[in-house]
Amino acid sequence: MDEFDYEASIPLPIANPDLFGHAEAEAKFLDSFNSGRLPHAWLISGPPGIGKATLAYRIARFVLTRHSSLDKTAGLFGDNLTQTNPTSLAVDITNPICRRIFSGGHADFLSIERSIDEKTGKKRKEIRVDEVRNKKDEFRNIARFLSKTPAEGGWRVIIIDSADDLNTWAANTVLKTLEEPPKRALLILVSNNPAKLLPTIHSRCRRLTLNLLPAKTINKFLQKYNPQMTSDDLNQLVEIADGSIGRALEFSKDGGLDIFREVNGILSTLPQLDIPRLHHLGDKLNRDKSGKVSELTFDIISRWLVNVIKDLAKNDKRRLDRWIEVWENTGRLINDTKRLNLDSKQVILNTFIAIKSAANH
């Protein structure tokens, strides 16, 4: 597969004009908007990589570019809004309002996500309270942001991506905002795992639950951004994606498709093992300084084991316990590899030996 720079060709969610496969969710928001009784908080949830953040920013751009069509004295609950009945959330992303959103210069828009740890240069594991309520940075202070009159006479919009990353104190700060929402303010929470959120946050948000995307939608996306892709690569990426554009993109770069073929080639030799090929894979993992190869390899194996377990649950429950044990032990090994910086080659060898043992019984 020829490498293709998707990162350079696909706009970030904040500036992406395209939303693939979520027309129903878009219609639900539009129905609420057109009704004149727009809830102040929305929770957009679903599996990773399917367009949740893209939808959140699409909503933000739509609301912020339509303020001039609304009665500026209207409220959120029960007050009448001017009925314009738009049929799409799409807006002209070249207009000045959108450009200010992209640059971070729109006074009525606030985006909150994990900050960069200055020591490691990587994103922190959670959104801390000082990122939600930072006295030194007024633009990141939700309370102050919402206490002001909208600078451009319309709505104020906050996106938290993702709400799963809020630590306890930050979550409670957000909850307080949800309990006392000001007029003409819209809070959009993005979540991969809504079960992690406080029940009280759930109860104060309107839900938009996004589903995995059908194969034809993934196909359409990949063809749009890499029309030169071979049909074999395209079909295999669609299969690997499992309904997630994000997963398809992960395997479309850094040699991900080659790794997929290599791992599955080794698995196809079961109940025997191609030992030289396995050592070659282990050496590749040890040379991987970025961790991307290891991450993709373990992801492929974990999903393969899940599929084996699903098949056994239907057809051969006698062998199910042994394979569940392999899957659980593999998960622990993978987590320990990341946490303790274990030798990736040894971990992959041990994993395949356990898989071989289960396959021979």
Domain ranges of the chain: 6-209, 254-359
Q: Is the pLDDT of residue 47 over 90?
A: yes
| pLDDT for residue 90 | 94
Per-residue confidence band for 104, with pLDDT thresholds at 50, 70 and 90:
confident
Amino acid at 37: R
Per-residue confidence band for 341, with pLDDT thresholds at 50, 70 and 90:
confident
Q: Is the pLDDT of residue 68 over 50?
A: no
* Structure tokens that stand for 77 in this block: 């609950």
Per-residue confidence band for 3, with pLDDT thresholds at 50, 70 and 90:
low
Mean pLDDT of 88-110: 91
Q: For 186, phi and psi rounded to 5 degrees?
A: -125, 120
Mean pLDDT of 313-317: 88
68 burial via Cβ count (<10 Å: 0-12, 13-18, 19+): exposed
* Structure tokens that stand for 178 in this block: 């949800």
* Structure tokens that stand for 289 in this block: 């300084």
Q: Which CATH number is 6-209 given?
A: 3.40.50.300
For the chain, the straight-line distance linking the first and the last C-alpha, in angstroms and rounded, comes to 37
Q: Is the pLDDT of residue 172 over 90?
A: no
Per-residue confidence band for 84, with pLDDT thresholds at 50, 70 and 90:
low
Mean pLDDT for the chain overall: 85
Q: Is the pLDDT of residue 221 over 50?
A: yes
**Spatial CA neighbour of 158 closest among 258, 234, 50, 63:** 63
